[in-house]
Structure 1
């Protein structure tokens, strides 16, 4: 993406944002709420189209008209609120909307054995040893559900995997599990876009970092160009945070009056 902008009427959602995604690398997009991360995801996923700037896939200019078109071009997006059916088995969710069948005509039916077997083997290939793919996906932890979604995208031929805040609602241990499978997707040759507001998670797995602030780029770096401390400083606002620190130091201590008399 080169100098991409998106406007909703008079509202500037994104302005002049550039982004590179390469096979076998993780590009992290960092920013607070309202920074423009959601708009960026929607453009990459084909939900919205950019107004100005360039968007190229494999060197060819693109203007995606729908999420299906994005999928056909190899771009899979896994949203924070995963689109799963909690009471359905893991294997059914893995193939949801793309169920293989066997037989013909009136004898056509779902190939359940193939779906069970494939789900188990694909999860195992990503390092997820799920004992029972018949269990409802709602019984899995949030981290495990994220991992199933990642394995599904890899299986269905994604070249680019966009992950929307995959660790936002998870604890430290589950976040570590998800980051491990994000790295596995990278090692499988996918280009990964990791949307996050957590610089620690980003620095653990990222190769490139794009910082957004109020719809504009606040920075773009490779891992070789900055240390974690500098990423945290930029993410936190840098000079703004220092200014706030000085203001807080100068702020007079609130004077509390005497006790309540009865």
Structure 2
């Protein structure tokens, strides 16, 4: 897909981190961007900077996602690109003993379900609704109607202690990539997924410098945290390269996560 001013994109989680970096890269190519996020202050500011539109969207709610696509398409046109970066995480053991009194507790089901609803179901919700819109478009000269990039995590394959919900949600994103790509292949819509390693995103922004340094040192090469723009570059490669389809690609500096 050739990126230019005739192409529109929707980026979920687009107000910061991986999503914001991808929105900037797309905008540099002339692409009109719509940012889906819950952070109005950051989202509006970035949309204004990029000449795009911000849509306050909760990916766990059909009505919110529908309203977001309606607003985005009215402002920048029917998207040919969807990049799913919205996501959350938590760290809770499946079952554990209290160090204080020895009492036993298990992973709260509502906390487990919330991560699944945001990371997995929310991603699929946006894919399905975006794909339906892309089907209304004529194919481009290269045969593409659209291209999608999803965000999983190395935790999909190397889940650490306390990451049962997060790993399950991201493993689900990996697992559905190929079937969705197959579902949409005859319509000229490509689907790929990135599995980022330890990236310097807002999730780590509040961590002490010694913790950040220790995390970076775990990476074989280069021994540092990933930079959001590196994710953005891979996302654009997936979008622009017509033979890139149905793939799950780690972007992690060669790390394989230890249990903790």
Shared topology, TM-score over 0.5?
A: no
Q: Which one has the bigger strand percentage?
A: 1
Q: Report which structure shows greater RCO (CA 8 Å, sep ≥6).
A: 1
TM-score, normalised via structure 2 length = 0.32
TM-score, normalised via structure 1 length = 0.32
